[in-house]
């Protein structure tokens, strides 16, 4: 499976997450220092949904 195919599948999966789960996943991925590419995918989806202010609020509450 090529990288672009994997990315497309991951983007489809991320699109299925509700906003709260997406934000929690992003904050946890950063906390656990997971792969930067994975964190970038999460952040891209958050940006696409216009939720950037929500991740700042969520990060402060941890």
Closest C-alpha to 51, from 21, 29, 28? 21
**Neighbour count for residue 29 (Cβ, 10 Å):** 18
Displacement of CA 23 from its chain's centroid (Å):
6
Show pLDDT as tens, one digit a residue, over the chain (62 residues): 555 778 888 888 888 999 999 999 999 999 999 999 999 999 999 999 999 887 776 665 65
**Number of separate domains in the chain:** 1
Residue 36 tokens read as 């930067």
Q: Which domain holds residue 30?
A: 3-61
Per-residue pLDDT, 10:
85
Per-residue pLDDT, 4:
72
């Amino acid at each position: 499976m090529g990288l672009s195919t994997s990315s497309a599948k991951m983007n489809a999966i991320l699109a299925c997450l509700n906003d709260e789960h997406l934000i929690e996943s992003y904050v946890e991925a950063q906390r656990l220092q997971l792969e930067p590419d994975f964190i970038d995918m999460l952040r891209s989806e958050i940006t696409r949904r216009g939720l950037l202010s929500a991740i700042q609020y969520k990060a402060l509450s941890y």
